[in-house]
Amino acid sequence: MYPPPETIPIWHYIRLDEFACPSPSAKETVRKGVAGFWDKFRRRPEPEAPIITQEELKRLSDELYVQIAPEPDWAAPVTALNEALEEGLATGVSRVHVLVGAPFSGIAEVLGNWAERRGIKVIQSPEPEAVLSQNQEWLQCLEDEGSTRPLAIPHLERCYLRHHHGLMLIRRLLSWLLNRPGYCVLCCSSWAWVYLCKALQIEKLFPTPWTLEALNQEHLQQWFAHLSTLQGKETFLFRQRDNGTFVIPPLEDNMPFAEKTARQRIAHTIARPEISAFLTDLAAYSRGNPGVAWALWRQSLQIAPEKENNHQAQSPDVDETTYGHTIWVKPWSQLLLPDLPEATDRNMLQVLHTLLLHERLSASLLTELLPFSFFEIRQILTHLEHCGLLMSAKEQWRLTPLGYPAVRQALRAEGYLVDSL
């Protein structure tokens, strides 16, 4: 019997200073210098005889994406968050507790779910224009909530701007929180947190923040397997396209009869199926970030079209019974991921860094924070959008989960202030 899909907790909160990124597979640790690491990491030689060729596969339909890899349910980690916050409350050191999360980690959404379950008031963020103009109306409304009512503020990164007029509101907010007796949970983007540590020494005001533990290969196996069974329509096998190895260990009881019989025939030599290192490398590249890992996972999935009458003759290695239920995973080296353009200049990097410090911004607000014209800002934003690094909704620009790892790596290489997650 192979292990059930939930043998260890997927979600666990740790202190920020305990965070550690998952390690890549052993092959990827042999490298020359950090700069060439990810380039090599994504360009391994392809096996000579793949189990199934790229030409035989197609993109999943929207319906299959929803069935196999639906959007994350951020209510799932609430129990783990509750345990962490209960531990913090028990210490009695502070009535204000902080969560810090990387972009796309879902940590703010989890806090919102946690607060809703407990009936705690969730405070909406001020408008950026109010922050820039130092308007005190938002803070006055917050103070009107009373000094004892429990509060949750899920987006502290939206309460400041990196501007000489952009820190007054958050200073007053923090002062008010420190002096009130009521319980409050703050959630802050990891990029804003590292900036506020530099600008305001915010880390000295509160206990060490909580953050989500990085998801490693085992966590991702369990999580992705769980997501694929939420609708309960059928069981899927996830196999790597080039060599057929399982990316997610199958459950013996859920395996088709032919596959189970084949395993029984070789049980005396192989105790369990060989598992691909794909999710190990994915966990390392995404730094264990659930939202980034989920986006990469969806990007890697393919399926074969309806089988033609002669298909079995073309692909004798694929079991007829399992073929229709197999989702093929692209080898890690063949994933096409967004990357910064070769002509990336410092202006582009400054725009990307500013977006990360504030999570999302409009083009007009970027012109207030950077020494560029509106035309220059729009040029950069549009170009980076075409590269797959940015997306926009309601005139708000932010990074894409697929592009985030490459951007973070580039900013770090150029000496920008980067987060610890």
CA distance 136 to 140: 6
pLDDT surpassing 90 at residue 309: no
Instruction: Decide if pLDDT at 114 tops 80.
Output: yes
The whole-angstrom distance between residue 72's C-alpha and the CA centroid of its chain comes to: 10
**Listed residue (104, 119, 97) closest to 74, CA to CA:** 104
CB neighbour list of residue 52: distance below 8 Å, 6 or more residues apart: 241, 244, 304, 315, 318, 328
Greater confidence, 134 or 5? 134
Q: What is the pLDDT of residue 416?
A: 98
**pLDDT at residue number 373:** 96
pLDDT of 305 reads 78
Looking at residue 306, its pLDDT comes to 64
At 240-297, the pLDDT tens digits run: 988 889 999 886 554 443 344 344 444 544 456 788 999 999 999 999 999 999 999 9
31-44 pLDDT, tens digit per residue, is 334 545 555 555 55
Q: What CATH code is assigned to 94-206?
A: 3.40.50
- Asked if the model's pLDDT at residue 61 lies above 50, the reply is yes
Q: What is the mean pLDDT of residues 331-337?
A: 92
pLDDT of residue 109: 97
Residue 314 has pLDDT above 50, yes or no: no
Lowest mean per-residue pLDDT among 20-34, 43-57, 337-351:
43-57
Q: Is the dihedral of CA 370, 371, 374, 376 positive or negative?
A: negative
CATH of domain 346-413: 1.10.10.10
- Cβ atoms of 176 and 142 within 8 Å: the answer is yes
* 67 vs 55: which has the higher pLDDT: 67
* Confidence at residue 389, expressed as pLDDT on a 0 to 100 scale: 98
* String of DSSP letters for 169-238: HHHHHHHHHHH--S-EEEEEEHHHHHHHHHHH-GGGTSSPPEEEPPP-HHHHHHHHHHHHTSS-S---EE
Mean pLDDT of all residues in 141-161: 91
Q: Tell me the average pLDDT of the chain.
A: 85
The DSSP result for 265-306, as a single string, is HHTTT-SS--B-SHHHHHHHHHTT-HHHHHHHHHHHEEE--S
Q: Pick 308 or 150 by higher pLDDT.
A: 150
State the pLDDT confidence band at 84, using cuts at 50, 70 and 90: very high
Residue spans per domain, the chain: 47-71+215-329, 94-206, 346-413
